[in-house]
Structures are given as structure tokens and as C-alpha cells.
Amino acid sequence: MLKMQDVSKIYRTDLIETYALRRFSLEVSPGEFVAITGPSGSGKTTFLNVAGLLEEFDSGSYRLEGHDVRSLSDDARSRLRNERIGFIFQSFNLIPDLDVYDNIEVPLRYRRMPAALRRERVEEVLVQLGLTARMRHLPAQLSGGQQQRVAIARALVGRPQLLLADEPTGNLDTIASRQVLDLLERINLEQKTTIIMVTHDPALAARARRKLHVLDGRLIDPRASAGERAQG
């Protein structure tokens, strides 16, 4: 599914080079649910942006579903991102003047999918996420938990193989956070969707099948021995 080997990402100014990722290596198999924790500025979001083909990297290799990412053209990268990857953000990123139905439909319009098929896909995820009664509501008319469910529906409507979630419960209260995690667990188990979730909450991270930690742009696997971590 996803394999990064010694990936480095450097942000440069005239005087300073800052490593956001430093020899970052990770392999994620199809159907895994992986949680990544770490302090602010540790490289978690940069990793998600690279994994989601939103940012390029400076060195190393990255293969996604068998594709060597660095060898792809911009169009091929965009197509792979749009067809294979779903994104969930902390800030929801819903379009405020579009209702729930239209927000969910947006990525399918980018694919130029026929109207009948778009309608079928949108109605399917509306039912799946319990949003049918809210389909003509604007984002401002929804609670935070409902807005995040819309964001998840938008990510799922394209039937992605990989779901990337960046602090998906960061703006939610405790009850709504648990409901979102329940939903992600169900998606992972029932649809076999691969999920990589970044979170600051250790209680939420513990619910993933695999937990990793990022520190100073490096990946730490708690299951590895001390000797193996030292080599990383």
C-alpha cells in the first residue's frame, strides 16, 4: 500500500535549513489502522502532506500502491491523489455556502463522474454516516461533530484505498471525538480502508491497531527494540 524509505523533507530559508522529516521510513499494509503521535512541530503533518501527495520531498523513496511517486507527472500525481486518497482535516474544510449534499459531491465533480453515479455515491454515504436528514443544511447549521461526519463522508464518497486524518477530533468535545473514532474503526473494519491518523490524544491513538511516534522528523516504533530505534 504505502512504503517510504529514508524520506527527508527540508524547509530552506536564506540562512537556515530545517528538517521536517529526517530519513523517515514507514511501511503500511492494506487495511491497517495506524495512529501517529508526537509534539507540535515534530513532522506529523508534513508526513501526511507527503503521504497524500500534497508536498514533494527532497530525498529517499516513496511508493504508493506500487507507484514510484517521484517518477509520476503532476497530472498522474493529481489523479492518484483524487482517486485513491481521502483526506480528513481538523478544521473540516467544508465550503460554507454549499449544503451537505453538495459538499460531499465536490470530489466526484472533479473526477467528471456522470451525474447519476454521483447521486448514487452521495446518497450511499449520506445513509452510511446518518446524514440524510441534514443533506440540505449548510455547515453553519451543523454541530462540530456533524461537520466532521460530513468531512468524512466527503473523503469516503470517492471510495479511497487510503484515508489520511490530520487531528480529526481536534475541534470536537469528548463525546463527539469518541463517535468519530467509532466511525473510523467501523470504516476500517467493514470496508478494509487503510487509515493513517495523526492525533495528540493518546487515548484515541490507543484505539488504532498500530501506534507510532514522531520526534524531530524521525519515526519511532514503540514495538521496536532499543537497538533498532537507535539505528534509526
pLDDT tens column, 166-187:
988 888 888 888 888 999 999 9
Residue 16, domain member (yes or no): yes
Q: Which residue has the cell 462540530?
A: 144
Tell me the β-bridge partners of 219. Answer: 214
Calculate the CA dihedral of residues 27, 30, 35, 38 and round it to 10 degrees: 20
pLDDT tens column, 196-218:
999 988 888 999 999 999 999 99
Tell me the β-bridge partners of 36. Answer: 198, 212
For residue 198, the domain's CATH number is 3.40.50.300
Residue 164, domain member (yes or no): yes
Residue 108, domain member (yes or no): no
Amino acid type, 194: T
Give me the domain span that covers residue 40.
2-94+160-231
Residue 212, domain member (yes or no): yes
At CA 33, angle to CA 7 and CA 91, rounded to 5? 80
pTM value is: 0.88
